[in-house]
Structure 1
């Protein structure tokens, strides 16, 4: 049924009334202003008077722009927290040799990446068994990175593959740090001297996985033609150079390679395959003289007495001794042991004087430690130690003195064995034991402690009749360390 006109009109009027009630025009202008003011008050916006009655101008605001209000203070910017541990990392960063930044907490991730790349290559070749030498590697990394001292490694005649991996990875880490900080890295940076062609191929294969990380290594040896190697050196600028001494000097004479700015010099297998020791020493000395910079030197060697003087000349002082094992044989490399026979306690002072004077004539060392009983300390210096042109000066109540012989001078430090601290022995290259230790183990403890910061050293000890029960073990120790065994020890042993 259709709606009528009245119903439609009523519905329309109802909607109009509803619309009028909801609109602001439904109220007067006064009511509308009150509503707007209330809304502004709730919103926090207030109208203020800009006239002189409200505020006066000031020297800071002569035109009354701020209407008497103080200029709002600038909010302090909160310091960004940044990456967690970033401040701590900055504190741990120190500047070391070469001006590079190094984290004191340990090596960077790049070193670990280099090590993993080498280990992955070994696994792909089927050599999954890898020896863990992390503690040794971190110590080597510290020596290479901080560059305070040269390194003498005495574990064996040549470096193991794990040792080579740690060494080349440590140098790669240093190269990456320098390049990141904008420091120019010379090419080559590492010069790795090997005794034979086979050894050069082995070391080059260990360095090969680093090529993908931007570290290029080249091997130079007599197995390849010199023209081929000349072409290879021209086509690239390797960071690592692995070479035998003879072939390297040939290429240097042809000006095919420049090693004057080498930062790291590694001599692997000192004395192995050299044939004539004199010519081998001359080659190594020539290579060192060609390097005009001051490279950090690492030498891998075992007991090879003919190379002791060469190692001392190459490394200089001070050095750091490293070894993968704690055996007396490894830790006493290039330390000569001299056992002297003394018939009685009364003759010990005279025997000690003879040893000191003989050492002063033959050795170039400037410092010797004499360990003896407390009651005999002062007697050594006051017993009239004069022979030829020798004289004693700077004697003290502690028994120490300086000994002069023509142009040579040697400081003799006398300590009593009751208060001897083994860590103090490390600072001496020459030690004389007036009384042989009560056990061979104690003797080994002193032997492995001396000359920790020198390539060569000497240990003298007096052996008496009452020490005869130690003769057999001492003979075995001297034989294992490739030292001369005195005849009187063999007589005691028999």
Structure 2
């Protein structure tokens, strides 16, 4: 290579370095290296970049002695020797840094406000004053670079307002994905499509060659041949911004890949140009160290493509090491076990105020290990409008309380197969054995009273719906009206006149009618997806009808309750009802067992 070519190469390299120095990833890397260098925790590859070995110090270990002396000086200056977790000076330095950062942010706010006033007086357009609506629009936008760079003061104030924003929505698609030379590429796509191509190239997502070629020839959407039907149902549910309840996972690895892709799409939707977040955006709560490493290994596929950085936190690593790692990196994703995350939260080593997407993988296993309190503690530290994805293989009755505290508001259900245990997950089945109608009326009054009180507090779903025989419609209606509730009846007479039946249903959906009474024949006309409270005033004549009600109700809520009033006429179906309760992991009343035993004795006596 001649001098002219060497000069041109140096010139190109210099221009490339200058171009890269303006990117966010390069800035993050330089800042992280600077923090590691100041803390004395250089990487092996950085050891020769700043000092040369000497005969007295051939391995460049002198910085360790200086670091120890620095910690001793800080501890003596602060005069705090009663530090938790090993009495190290790391927590002292953490508190000092937080105080300094708070003072610095206050100074930045004052300086930015003074500069804005100065620009307004001088009539300059260099730094225009932005309204809150404009800041929100710049935050949620997904296309095009921003023409305005937020100052430090505006950025801090904007991050404090970010936790009150609405949930972020996105739509899964692969329209911009294409396969050329056995490699998937994405041109002009969003974060979801870029991440999907990366997973396809890494063979982490199912891809049948025959189906892909057939889709290209027959112009079939790629959704038919990329991934599985469950994957797309899960991604569509996460894209709505609602909380998601995943039941009956086929495999943990499949759920991890799908949830990571949903997190990438969420972060890509929330990201805005020229805005940097110091706190993580997504949180994954898993059971053990192995699961944290598995989830983090999936995120590493996107680190070079999307600049995503994930940090794993588990009890098998020293607490001080994780504290130093959190201080020296700016991670957008936390993958942690609940117990270790609670330890870090107790000493304010990590902040969850910016979390907007949280995945809880394996709730049943965590609760069985005694981590229910840790899960609730973490839920209390994240913003109220965080999107939660909850998954478990089974949902026994003992888990309903904690699941309802983790999943608030409307939900979307994603099931691996349409079965009874998965369809009725987190739906309580209360069976009451009552012979006299007076006790039934009193029990119904108590149910309505509790429901109306919870509705006033905003924690109750739509309902209730009371199902009874045609002969009891007027009696039940009069009793409910005496309690002061507005009630209407849906029967065959209303259904025959379509206008009257539709009017009753519309008034019930709008809340003009508080209680709806219907016969069993008219249940098919009611959309039970939003109905959370259903009362079977008399147990149905077949167990199939009971199962249909159970699988149709409370699709969009986690507070579903099905009340069943049984009598002696239910004895032939008692054993089948017990089998349904056992299959759904529900408690079985002793009165129902006695009724089943009595029915069995009667059958045996008839047979003999």
- State the TM-score, normalizing by the size of structure 1: 0.66
For residues 600 and 203 of structure 2, what CA distance do their matches in structure 1 show? Answer: 49
What runs of 5+ residues in structure 2 fail to find an aligned partner? 1-142, 144-164, 176-188, 206-224, 456-462, 492-512, 602-608
Partner of 1:297: 388
CA contact (8 A) 2:529 2:552 kept: yes
Point out the structure with the larger strand share.
1
Q: Which has the higher helix share?
A: 2
Q: How does 1:75-474 map to 2 (within 5 A)?
A: 102=170, 108=189, 110-118=191-199, 120-121=201-202, 134-147=228-241, 149-156=242-249, 160-179=252-271, 187-213=279-305, 214-274=307-367, 277=370, 280-292=371-383, 294-301=385-392, 302-341=394-433, 343=435, 347=436, 349-359=437-447, 365-366=454-455, 367-383=463-479, 392-396=483-487, 398=489, 411-421=514-524, 424-474=527-577
The worse-fitting range, judged by mean Cα deviation, of 416-425 and 439-448 is 416-425
Q: 1:276 to 1:105 in 2, by over 3 A?
A: closer
Q: 2:406 & 2:337 partners in 1: Cα distance?
A: 17
1:475 positional shift: 2.3
Q: Secondary structure at the match of 2:530?
A: coil
CA distance in 2 between partners of 1:273 and 1:111 (Å): 30
Whether the aligned pair in 2 keeps the contact of 1:265 and 1:298 (CA below 8 Å) is yes
TM-score by structure 2 length? 0.54
CA, structure 1 residues 181+445, in 2 after alignment: closer, same or farther (shift >3 Å)?
A: farther
SS at match of 2:365: coil
Aligned residues: CA RMSD: 3.6
The residue that corresponds to 1:21 in the other structure is none
Partner residue of 1:69?
none
Contact 2:490–2:519 (8 Å) recurs in 1: no
Q: Secondary structure at the match of 1:420?
A: helix
Within 5 A, what are the aligned runs for 1:14-33? Answer: none
CA spacing shift, 1:105–1:352, aligned 2, 3 Å: farther
Task: Report how far residue 218 of structure 1 moved.
Answer: 1.4
- Cα 1:446–1:182 shift into 2, 3 Å: farther
TM-superposition CA deviations, 1:237-293 (whole Å, max 9, x none): 22211111121122223333221111101112114244575xx33322222222246
Shift of 1:172: 1.0
- Does the CA-based 8 Å contact 2:167-2:386 persist in structure 1? no
Worse-matched range after superposition: 187-196 or 219-228: 187-196
Q: In 2 relative to 1, CA 383–228 (structure 1 residues): closer, same or farther, beyond 3 Å?
A: closer
Q: Secondary structure at the match of 1:267?
A: strand
Inter-partner Cα distance in structure 2 for 1:109 and 1:170: 12
Asked if the contact 1:118/1:207 (under 8 Å) is kept, the reply is no
| Partner SS, residue 475 of structure 1 | helix
Maintained 8 Å contact 1:194/1:267? yes
Distance 1:204 1:448 in 2: 36
Q: CA deviation at 1:115?
A: 3.5
Instruction: State the partner residue of 2:598.
Output: 491
Does the C-alpha gap of structure 1 residues 308 and 101 become closer, same or farther in structure 2, counting only changes over 3 Å?
closer
Q: CA deviation at 1:447?
A: 0.4
Cα deviation digits, residues 383-426 of structure 1 (max 9, x gap): 489xxxxx6114456399xxxxxxxxx94331222222365222
Instruction: Please tell me whether Structure 1 or Structure 2 has the larger radius of gyration of its CA atoms.
Output: 1
TM-fit CA distance, 1:444? 1.3
**Cα distance change, pair 431–394 in 1 and its aligned pair in 2 (3 A):** closer
Q: Which residue of 1 aligns with 2:13?
A: none
Q: What secondary structure sits across from 2:363 in the alignment?
A: coil
Residue 265 of structure 1: SS of its match in structure 2?
strand
Instruction: Tell me the distance in 2 between the aligned counterparts of 1:100 and 1:394.
Output: 38
Alignment length (residue pairs): 372
Q: Is the 8 A contact 2:244 2:390 kept in 1?
A: yes
Deviations 1:303-331 (A, max 9, x none): 23222112112211222222111111111
